[in-house]
Amino acid sequence: MDPRLQSLLVRHGGVVTRQDLLREAPAWTIQAAGRAGRLVPVLPGIYVDVELIGDGDADLPVLARVEPELARRAALAYGGGRAALSRLTALDVWGLRRQPPAEPVQLDLPRGSGLRNRPHLAVRHRSDFAIAPPQVVTRTGMPVTRLDRTLVDCWPLLQPVDRSGPLIRVVNDRLTTAQRLVAALAEVPTINDRGTLRSLLDRLAAGCRSPLEIWGHDHVFTGPGMPTFTRQARVRVGARTIYLDMFAEAERVDIELDGATSHGDPAEREIDLRRDALLATIGILVVRFTHRRLIADPDQVRRETLAILAARSCSP
- Report the C-alpha gap between 43 and 101 in whole angstroms: 17
156: burial class by Cβ within 10 Å (0-12, 13-18, 19+)?
A: middle
- pLDDT at residue number 220: 94
- pLDDT at residue number 10: 86
Which CATH fold topology does 211-314 show? Endonuclease; Chain A (3.40.960)
- pLDDT at residue number 266: 83
- How many other C-beta atoms lie within 10 A of the C-beta of residue 107? 28
- pLDDT tens by residue, 213-260: 999 998 999 989 899 999 989 999 999 999 999 999 999 999 999 865
Q: Which residues of the chain have pLDDT under 70?
A: 259-264, 315-316
**DSSP result, 216-257:** HHHHTSSSTT---PEEEEEEEETTEEEEEEEEETTTTEEEEE
- pLDDT at residue number 55: 78
- pLDDT at residue number 209: 87
Domain ranges of the chain: 3-52, 68-205, 211-314
Spell 198-218 as b/e; 16+ CB within 10 A means b.
Answer: eebbebbebbbbebbbbbbbe
